[in-house]
Amino acid sequence: MTDIDSMLDRILIDLLSDRIIERMNAKTRSALLLFSGTDIGLDAALGQLRQLRAGGWSFEAMRAPEALWLGNDRLAELNAKGAEGAIGDVLARNAMVLVPALSITLAAKVALGIADDPISALMQGAIERGSRILAARDGVCPGSRDRRDRGLLPTPVYRQTMSRHLQALADYGVELPWAARLAAAVEGTNKQNDAAPKATVATTIQETGVFGLREARGLDSAELHLGQGVLVTPAAAEELRARDIRLVRER
C-alpha cells in the first residue's frame, strides 16, 4: 500500500467515524411522541416539549385518530415529523418514547398487553425492546388536579383500577412524571448511570405518629397507605379528599 493509499484510508475512516458519531449524537436527543386520546395535561406537556426542542431535541410524532384536537399547528411548533415505517425502525431512530398525555384507554391496553392500534403497538414494542418510555400520568392518575378541576371524579373501585394500570406500567419500567415536569424527567436522567425514579402510584408512610397537612400537600401519589396507629389530622384528610388520594389503612 502506497503512502497515498494509506492517507486516503485514514481520511475515509475519519469521515465514517464522524458520520457514526453524528448519528449517535442525533439519536441521543431524539424522541418519538405518542399522542393518545386525551388532552388532560396536554398544555403543560406541550410547553415542556417546546423547552426540550429549544434544548436541541428533535421529534417524530404519531397521534391517535381521536386526537383531532391536536392540530397540525401545535405539532408544527415542535417541528415534529410524522413517524413512518416498521415499529422496530421507528423505535431504533429515537432514544426514547414520550407520551405527553397518557389516556385511560392507552394505559389499560398497555397494562393488559393489548396492542390493537398503532399507538399501543408502538408503546408495547418499546417495552419489549427495553426502550426508555416516559408517559405523563395526569390523565390517568386519580389524584390529578386537572381531572378534579374537570369534575372527573370516578368511584373508589374505578380509581383502584386506574391506579392498578399505572402500577403495571411502572412495573414494566415506564416512567410516569406529571406533565409539568416532563422536561425535567427527560433531562434529569439523560446522564449515564443516572436512573430515573419511577412515579409513585402508592405510598406507604409511617406506622405511628401524626400525618398532617404539610405531609398531605407534599404527597405525590394516587394512594396512601398508613398504619392503624397513625393519626390523620382533619386538614390533612380534607387535602387527601380534595386531591382524590385514596387512604388505605395497613394492619
Q: Where are the domains of the chain?
A: 20-188, 202-250
* Residues 97 and 59: beta-carbon distance below 8 Å: no
- pLDDT at residue 125, rounded to an integer: 96
Q: How far is CA 23 from CA 12, 30, 78, 93, 105, in A?
A: 17, 11, 20, 9, 35
* Residues 170 and 198: beta-carbon distance below 8 Å: yes
* Residues 177 and 197: beta-carbon distance below 8 Å: no
C-alpha 204/C-alpha 110 separation (Å) is: 26
User: Quick one: fold of 20-188?
Assistant: Rossmann fold (3.40.50)
Which amino acid is it at 221?
S
- pLDDT at residue 36, rounded to an integer: 93
* Residues 250 and 229: beta-carbon distance below 8 Å: no
- pLDDT at residue 25, rounded to an integer: 44
C-alpha 121/C-alpha 110 separation (Å) is: 8
C-alpha 36/C-alpha 2 separation (Å) is: 60
Secondary structure in 3-state letters for 17-66: HHHHHHHHHHHHCEEEEEECCCCCCHHHHHHHHHHHHHCCCEEEEEECCC
- pLDDT at residue 103, rounded to an integer: 96
pLDDT of the chain along its 251 residues, tens only? 566 666 655 666 555 544 443 444 445 789 999 999 899 999 999 999 999 999 999 999 999 988 877 777 777 788 888 889 999 999 999 999 999 999 999 999 999 999 999 999 999 999 999 999 999 999 999 878 888 889 988 888 898 899 899 999 999 999 999 999 999 999 874 333 333 344 456 666 667 788 888 788 777 677 888 888 888 888 888 888 877 788 888 76
Closest CA to 33 of 50, 8, 19: 50
102's grid cell: 397518557
Instruction: Determine the length of the chain.
Output: 251
Q: 79: alpha, beta or left, given left = phi > 0 and alpha = psi -120 to 50?
A: left
- Rounded to the nearest angstrom, the gap between the alpha carbon of residue 43 and the centroid of all alpha carbons in its chain is 15
Closest CA to 119 of 111, 129, 109, 128: 109
C-alpha 58/C-alpha 250 separation (Å) is: 46
- pLDDT at residue 240, rounded to an integer: 84
C-alpha 217/C-alpha 219 separation (Å) is: 6
- pLDDT at residue 73, rounded to an integer: 76
